[in-house]
A and B are shown apart, each in its own frame.
Chain A
Amino acid sequence: MLLLGVTLVAAAISTGPSVGAKIPGFSLTDQNGRTREFANLKGPKGLVLVFFRSADW
């Protein structure tokens, strides 16, 4: 169904900052209501940050 407006794009998608670049700052609420930012998320070597489409569909 194209009703939802998902169309094909042959061109490369945008994948954000390059390897070697610093990430933009962020402050977001997690599933337990806590405010999270990079500083309180990262482990000793850093963070695996996954962007996913939705938990609901």
Chain B
Amino acid sequence: MELRAHVLEFQKHGLSVAAISYDSPEILKDFAARRNINFPLLSDADSRTIRAFGILNETVQHGSSVYGVPNPGTYVIDAKGVIAAKYFEAEYAERVTASDILVRRFGALPAALDVPATNRVEGQHLRVTASTSARYTIGGQKIALVLTLEMKPGIHVYAPGVQGYKPVEWEMSPGAAGLPERLFTPVTWPPSKMLRLKAIDETVPVYEKRLRLVREFTVPSDQLLRTATSSEGRIALDGVLRYQACDMTTCYNQETLPVHFEVQVLRHDTERVPEELRRRPETQ
């Protein structure tokens, strides 16, 4: 379970972690021992809790051995028992990863994981570091691509929607890896600051000092995954960051910097995802 590596990260945010399945306590005991899992695995053998949540997988035939499984997903529940966030996927093969939830919910890259920056570029006015929420991934998972911009003192860049200046833009060129654009979500823009430029009597939305941009990438499955993966099992994703930097007196020419992400693809864990259970869209 990818979750295991992130339990400490959730604990730092005051959250404990538990996982529910329809397996017997014996199966869970064996599984926990084999995988060295030390957070609670809860047995919902009659799927009563799965039903109480209303997430029984109704697409599974009654009477089959897999009847009773839930639609897989994750709830973040506050201390009073109220759901603060939830993460489910419409596609059977897609999974939200724990590291992705950490990034999306807490804006925090799981530092303890020692996720390597895959690329660092020094521009004239800022440094941009590209990193991914996970070092390893499998087909169907969602991972977060993160750009961290560290601006030089006194420098600001412009937020989307600015008039008269060029806003920060982050474009991926998925075509280079043979991947369709739909695998990338739009960028999540943090709130900008309104900066008043006295000399020209203007107020503009800007970012200063440090800016973190996040977008999600869905690792493709099957043929697309094979196309995009190198012989070393890596997916490389390239794009560009464009920005116009200004300080309080001068605006500089727009600069374009290359950004580069890499993630290692693991083969599907067949203990969890047997071949015969994967979706076969063409056989409906």
B20 A51 Cβ-Cβ under 8 A:
yes
**CB of B265 within 8 Å of the partner chain:** no
Q: How many A-B residue pairs have CB under 8 A?
A: 219
Q: Are A42 and B79 in contact, with the CB atoms below 8 A?
A: yes
* Contact in complex: B49, A57 (CB < 8 Å): no
In the assembled complex, which residues on chain A have CB atoms less than 8 Å from the CB atom of B281?
A: 8
19 new A-B contacts at CB < 8 Å, known A31-B31, A53-B66: A1-B280, A3-B276, A4-B65, A8-B59, A8-B281, A14-B58, A15-B88, A16-B75, A17-B83, A23-B77, A28-B44, A30-B41, A31-B25, A31-B37, A48-B17, A50-B72, A53-B21, A54-B23, A56-B23
Contact sample, A vs B, 29 pairs, CB 8 Å cutoff: A4-B276, A5-B60, A16-B54, A16-B55, A16-B75, A18-B83, A24-B49, A24-B52, A26-B52, A30-B18, A30-B25, A31-B25, A31-B29, A31-B31, A31-B32, A31-B37, A42-B79, A48-B15, A50-B18, A50-B20, A50-B72, A53-B66, A54-B21, A54-B22, A54-B23, A54-B69, A55-B31, A56-B23, A57-B272
**Residues of B that sit less than 8 Å from A by CB:** 1, 3, 10-11, 13-23, 25, 27-32, 37, 40-44, 48-50, 52-61, 64-66, 69-86, 88, 90, 92, 98, 101, 271-272, 274, 276-277, 279-281, 283-284
